[in-house]
Structures are given as structure tokens and as C-alpha cells.
Chain A
Amino acid sequence: MKLIIEENLEQEDVEIIIKCSMLDERLKKLIAQIRAYSFSIKASKGNETKSIALEDIYYFESVDEITYLYCAHEVYECDKKLYELEDSLRTTSFVRVSKSVILNVDWMSHVKPLFDGKFEASMQNGERVIINRHYVKAFKEKFGL
């Protein structure tokens, strides 16, 4: 693979062009990571509003019609609905794992099965997220299984 980096002070935005004969799985993963890198979400905590990089988000959770965004140690409120996020994050490392949660598989440390057909994902910050059995198929597909 040939990697060309051109630095130009006049260039306002970062532009990435991928030239290939065919998109394979590795390339698709790379594109997903690039997409995640270039995507940030506006979130608020109290009066403070900030832009959170997608790669820093562990998961989104919807509680009482409010979407919360969980980072390693902070929780923010997000103005987007879960279905909107699901749509725009389809090609990234995020996957819907239950009716109320969209999870970033990049921050998962391990997963274990439960006795009721569900899975439990342990995140790298120690939090645990339940993967509902209706979403297991999509979850497995994220890992190419």
C-alpha cells in the first residue's frame, strides 16, 4: 500500500482520497476508522457545550427520551435521538445492542454470555452493558462473525 501525505498550509480541511481496485474487508475497516475520526458530536453538561470526538465515546444510552453519551469518566447529554445516531454511525465501530444503547465495540474489553440468551459486554472503564438477544446478530457482524 502506498501512503502519500501532502502538507499544505493553504488546505483548510483534511482530505483523504482512497484509490483502490476493489474494497476489501481491511479497507472497509480502515474507512470506518477514518469516518469515526472525522466525526464529532455536540454534547452538553450543565451549561457547558463541547464537541466530543467519536473515538472517545464508549456508548450512547437513551433514558426517558434523553440521549446520554458516556466517555471514560464523564457523561454528557446529546441532542440527537438514538435512531439518528444509529443511522449516521452505521459504518463506524458503533452498533445498536439494545433498544436504548448504542455501543462502541472499540472500547470493549470482553464479552460473556448470560443464561437468558443475552450477552454482557465489559468496557475498558469497568462499566458493563447488556447486549439484548434481538441485537446479537448485528453485534456479531461487527466482528465479521
Chain B
Amino acid sequence: MKKHIQTIKKIVLTTCCSFTLVIMVNVCLGSEAFAMRIGSDELKQTFIICVITSAVVHCVLRINFASEWMYHTVAFSSEFLSVFGVGSFVLKLIPFTAEVVIGVSIMLLFVHLFCFTMIYCSQKITADEINECLHKQGGRKEDRHGKDN
């Protein structure tokens, strides 16, 4: 049960981040061809796309990938497929034209990089805390290691 709640928490968090970023990027690019006019229907549909994309990415990233490149390639591909699969073919919100595909892909890349940079930063904080703990215990361990050698 606890595990499921944590999964939902992660999906909600990713949805909130990505939805905010999509709207912000869309507002900034307001006059561009691939930016959509935001009404209440578009907002709801964008939110649905964000929820589905977050859930899909969360499921896909449960797989243990051999390299960091593979991890990001699969993550980005699943984001791309979910956004266009749901956005273009189910909700008919995003027109599937070359111009829009390129524009939305750039937006998607921006959101992807932002979200994963946030995850990396949070992990860096954890790593620093662990390194501090290790540093405190360092002397004792180095002594033991010296004896072994």
C-alpha cells in the first residue's frame, strides 16, 4: 500500500512540474505557430496528457537500463509517443504536422531536461550528505585499511 502511495506521489509531482512547464513554455512562445491557444478545454486536455505521460514514463523507467544514454533515449521516446499518441490521435489537441512535431519535441526536450536536472540535483544533495557521513567515519576506516595492506 505504502509503495503504491509513493508511486502516485511521484506521478503527481512529475505531472505538476511538467504541466506548469508546458504552460509556461507555451505562454512564452505564444505567437509561434506550434503554440496552442489555451482555453479551459485545452488546459484539461494538456493536464490529461501530462498525467498519462508521467505514468508511462514512471512505468518505463522501472526497467534497469545498461547505460545512462539508453535510459534517457527510452524516457524521451516514451514521452514523445505518449504526448503524440494521446495528444494527436486520442484528444486531437496537437496537430500532427512537421512544424508542430518539431516545436512540441523541442518543448518536450526542455521539460525532460528540466525534470531530470531536478532529480539529479536532489540526488547530488543526498550524495553530499552521505559523503559527509563517510568523511566523519573516514579516519577509522583508513586505519583499518592501512593495517590490511
Contact = CB atoms under 8 A, between A and B. Distances in A.
A121 B130 CA distance: 10
Contacts of B65: 116
B148 A119 contact: no
Main secondary structure, interface of A, reads mixed
Contact of B148 (A56, A105, A108): A56
Contacts of A56: 148
B126 A115 contact: no
B13 to A, nearest CB: 14
Interface stretch (B21-29, B79-87, B117-125): B117-125
B127 to A, nearest CB: 5
Contacts of A109: 134
Contacts, number: 58
A106 B141 contact: yes
Given A117-B123, A119-B123, A145-B126, A111 B134 contact: yes
B77 to A, nearest CB: 15
A119 B127 CA distance: 8
B145 interface: yes
A20 to B, nearest CB: 22
Contact of B124 (A110, A113, A117, A143): A113
Interface residues of A, number: 25
B119 A110 contact: no
B64 A132 contact: yes
A72 interface: yes
B134 A116 contact: no
Interface string B35-52: 000000000000000000
A115 B127 contact: no
B120 A113 contact: yes
Contacts of B64: 99, 132
A19 B133 CA distance: 28
Contact of A116 (B72, B144, B145): B72
A140 B119 CA distance: 16
Interface in B43-67: 61, 64-65, 67
Interface of B: 61, 64-65, 67-68, 71-72, 116, 119-120, 123-124, 126-127, 129-131, 133-134, 137, 141-142, 144-145, 148-149
30 contacts: A55-B144, A56-B148, A106-B141, A107-B141, A109-B134, A110-B131, A110-B134, A111-B131, A111-B134, A113-B126, A113-B127, A115-B72, A115-B116, A115-B120, A116-B68, A116-B71, A116-B72, A117-B71, A117-B119, A117-B123, A119-B126, A124-B141, A124-B142, A132-B64, A136-B126, A143-B129, A143-B133, A145-B129, A145-B130, A145-B133
